[in-house]
Amino acid sequence: MYLNTKDIGNRYFEIFVIFFCFLLSSLFVISPIYYVFKGAFEPLSISLVSRSKDWTFDNFIYILNEGYHTYIINSFIVCIVSTLIACVVALFAAYAISRFRFKGRGIIFGSILGGQFFPWIILINPIFIIFARAGFDNSLSSIIFIFTAVITPFSIYLLVGYLTTIPISLDEAAILDGASRFKIVIFVLLP
C-alpha cells in the first residue's frame, strides 16, 4: 500500500488549520494576562496602549502602603473559614443522603440541586437588605455566611456522588467493630 501525495497534502493542511486555530485561541487567552502584567509594572501616568520602556515597582509600593495587605488577609480568612464550614456541613449532609433511606430524601436532594439552577447573584439585594436591617452588614462573618451558603449545595452534590461509590459493606464492617456513625465518617469514609 502506498501513500497518495494528495492525502499527505490534505493532512498537512489539516495540521496547519488546527495549529492556526490553537495559536489564535492562545493569543486570545494570553493577551489579557500580558496587559495586566504590563500595566502592573508601568507608571500610573502611562496608558496601556503606549509603548513605554519604563518599568517600575511604584504600583506595588503604593498598594502595600495603602493597606492592601489587610484585604488579602481578610480574603484568606473568609475563604478558609467558609470552605472548612462548607466541607464539614456538606460531608455530613451527603453522608445522610447517600446512606440513609428516609421519607423526603429525594425531595431534599432535589431542592439542593434545584437551588443550583438559579444564579446566586440575584439574591444579593434581598440578602443585603436583610443583613443591613439586622445590623449584620460590613463584617467578615456575613461574607463567610454567604460564601458558605453558596458553596455548600454544590459540595453536597459532589460528595453524594463520591459517597455512593463507596460500598456500604465498609460501613457495616465498622459498625460490627463498634464504630459510631461519626467515627465511620471521620475514620472510614473521609480518608
- Let me know whether 47 and 79 are in one domain: no
| pLDDT tens per residue, range 94-135 | 999 988 888 888 898 888 888 888 787 888 888 888 888 888
- Let me know whether 152 and 114 are in one domain: yes
Residues 6+ apart with CB under 8 A from 78: 140, 143, 144, 147
Q: Name which residue leads in pLDDT, 130 or 80.
A: 80
Q: What is the pLDDT of residue 45?
A: 67
- Let me know whether 55 and 78 are in one domain: no
Range(s) of the domain holding residue 15: 5-65
Q: Across residues 76-85, what is the average pLDDT?
A: 95
In which band, very low, low, confident or very high, does the pLDDT at 6 lie, cut at 50, 70 and 90? low
Q: Across residues 1-8, what is the average pLDDT?
A: 57
- Let me know whether 108 and 25 are in one domain: no
pTM beyond 0.85: no
pLDDT at 149 over 70: yes
Tell me which residue of 2, 4, 26, 22 sits closest to 14, measured CA to CA.
Answer: 22
What is the pLDDT of the chain when averaged over all its residues?
85
Largest CA distance in the chain: 81
% pLDDT > 70, the chain: 90
The count of other CB atoms within 10 Å of the CB of residue 189 is: 19
CA dihedral (105, 106, 109, 115) in degrees, to 10, reads -130
Q: Where is the domain boundary, 65, 85, 105?
A: 65
- Let me know whether 119 and 157 are in one domain: yes
- Let me know whether 95 and 133 are in one domain: yes
- Let me know whether 14 and 93 are in one domain: no
Q: Where is the domain boundary, 65, 80, 100?
A: 65
pLDDT at 52 over 70: no
Number of domains within the chain: 2
- Let me know whether 83 and 159 are in one domain: yes
Q: Where is the domain boundary, 19, 46, 65?
A: 65
Per this entry, what is the length of the chain?
Answer: 191
Residues 6+ apart with CB under 8 A from 29: none
- Let me know whether 123 and 152 are in one domain: yes
Q: What is the pLDDT of residue 50?
A: 63
pLDDT at 32 over 70: yes
pLDDT at 33 over 60: yes
Q: What is the pLDDT of residue 8?
A: 63
- Let me know whether 129 and 177 are in one domain: yes
User: Which CATH number goes with the domain that contains 162?
Assistant: 1.10.3720.10
Tell me which residue of 105, 88, 104 sits closest to 96, measured CA to CA.
Answer: 105
Q: What is the pLDDT of residue 47?
A: 60
In which band, very low, low, confident or very high, does the pLDDT at 76 lie, cut at 50, 70 and 90? very high
Distance of alpha carbon 172 from the chain centroid: 34
Q: What is the pLDDT of residue 106?
A: 85
Q: Give the CA angle between residues 129, 131, 132 to the nearest 5°.
A: 65
- Let me know whether 113 and 167 are in one domain: yes
Q: What is the pLDDT of residue 125?
A: 85
- What stretches of the chain show up as alpha helix (H) in DSSP? 5-41, 58-65, 68-99, 105-114, 124-134, 140-163, 168-176, 181-183
- Let me know whether 51 and 87 are in one domain: no
Asked if residue 155 lies in contact with residue 90, where contact means CB atoms within 8 angstroms, the answer is yes
